[in-house]
């Protein structure tokens, strides 16, 4: 075998360095995608829990007989603080929701909205995300005393 053939077999140091640089760029891109994916999954998990907490609280309120604005405290849970309105609010501080200490909740009861005799129930559940600050998920429903009668 000639000397020239021996020199051309194999890869040069420059080729190896270019291949490693390309491999490094691909690895950094994949790692960035993984980090973003993990963050978004955590945000989706927290939003899902917040949706469940808001929905559960709205169902609890809807399961009680309709209360006039003067009796709004009939809807209050033991861990909530009530403030007369209008609108009336029932607030649960951070750390007070059983099994979900990282959340807070505010239920706003607006009577005669959108029409006389109806009550607008808005439930906002909040939590603190380390990177994005305070996040809030809000749900709204309406109650009317005649709906209980099946009319």
Report residue 146's pLDDT band, with 50, 70 and 90 as the boundaries: confident
- Provide CB contacts within 8 A for 40, sequence distance 6+: none
Is the model's pLDDT at 131 over the cut of 90?
no
Q: Say whether pLDDT at 151 is over 70.
A: no
Listed as own residue / partner, the contacts of 97-106 with beta carbons closer than 8 Å and 24 or more positions apart are: 97/53, 100/49, 100/53, 102/127, 102/128, 103/49, 103/50, 103/53, 103/127, 105/53, 105/54, 105/57
- Asked if omega into 87 is within 30° of 0 (cis), the reply is yes
pLDDT at 104: 97
Tokens of 70: 């003067």
Whole-number pLDDT of residue 1: 52
pLDDT score for 86: 86
Do the beta carbons of residue 42 and residue 50 sit within 8 Å? no
**Mean pLDDT along residues 85-94:** 92
pLDDT at 145: 80
Residues 108-117 pLDDT 10s = 999 998 888 8
- Report pLDDT digits (tens) over 7-30: 567 788 898 999 999 999 999 999
């Amino acid at each position: 075998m000639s000397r020239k053939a021996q020199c051309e077999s194999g890869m040069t140091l420059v080729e190896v360095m270019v291949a490693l640089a390309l491999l490094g760029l691909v690895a950094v891109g994949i790692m960035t995608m993984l980090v973003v994916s993990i963050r978004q999954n955590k945000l989706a998990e927290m939003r899902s829990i917040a949706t469940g907490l808001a929905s559960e609280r709205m169902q609890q309120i809807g399961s009680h007989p309709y209360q006039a604005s003067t009796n709004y405290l009939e809807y209050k849970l033991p861990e909530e603080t009530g403030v007369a309105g209008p609108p009336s609010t029932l607030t649960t501080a951070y750390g007070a929701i059983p099994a979900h200490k990282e959340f807070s909740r505010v239920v706003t009861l607006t009577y005669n909205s959108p029409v006389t005799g109806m009550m607008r129930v808005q439930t906002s559940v909040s939590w603190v995300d380390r990177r994005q600050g305070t996040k809030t998920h809000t749900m709204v429903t309406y109650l009317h005393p005649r709906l209980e009668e099946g009319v």
